[in-house]
Amino acid sequence: MSARFDCTSCGAPLVLRAEGVSDSLACEHCGAVLDARDPRHQILARYRAKLGRAPWLPIGARGTLRGEKLEVIGRQTRAVRYSGVIYQWNEYLLWNPYKGFRWLVESNGHWNLLKTVETKVKER
């Protein structure tokens, strides 16, 4: 399910995807992070919107991957510095209300599909 409302900070039209499951929603127009569970959608944090490279997959895109119908409901760009070199990748959060979440990770044009492990990992 999804709900439409205007950003509490800048008034831009927003779509809350995975309603009832999402805790927060970031406005791509102004960088505000809004409370998805609060019907007034109060502002939790403000970030200056950074315009980077356009994402491969826009929020709201739908498709079938390995037989599962999935919708892109989130995206983050992550990076790590190792030996003075910055390595960067993009993580897309995919959602199906009957299947749950998947992560589609893109790094330099290479793609990996990940699923969160449900069981605890034993420490040695």
Residues in touch with Zn ion (CB under 5 A): 7, 9-10, 12, 27, 29-30, 32
Nearest residue (CB) to Zn ion, 6 versus 87: 6
Smallest separation (angstroms) from Zn ion to the CB of 52: 17
Question: Can you tell me the distance from the alpha carbon of 111 to that of 123, in angstroms, rounded to the nearest whole number?
Answer: 29
Taking the mean position of all CA atoms in its chain, how far away is CA 68? 18
Q: Which of 74, 76, 110 is nearest to 94 (CA)?
A: 74
Nearest residue (CB) to Zn ion, 9 versus 24: 9
Nearest residue (CB) to Zn ion, 31 versus 55: 31
Smallest separation (angstroms) from Zn ion to the CB of 45: 12
Q: Which residue has the tokens 């944090």?
A: 45
Nearest residue (CB) to Zn ion, 14 versus 70: 14
Smallest separation (angstroms) from Zn ion to the CB of 15: 13
User: How buried is residue 71: exposed, middle or buried, by Cβ count under 10 Å (0-12/13-18/19+)?
Assistant: middle
Smallest separation (angstroms) from Zn ion to the CB of 5: 11
CA-CA-CA-CA torsion for 2, 105, 50, 8, nearest 10 degrees?
A: 20
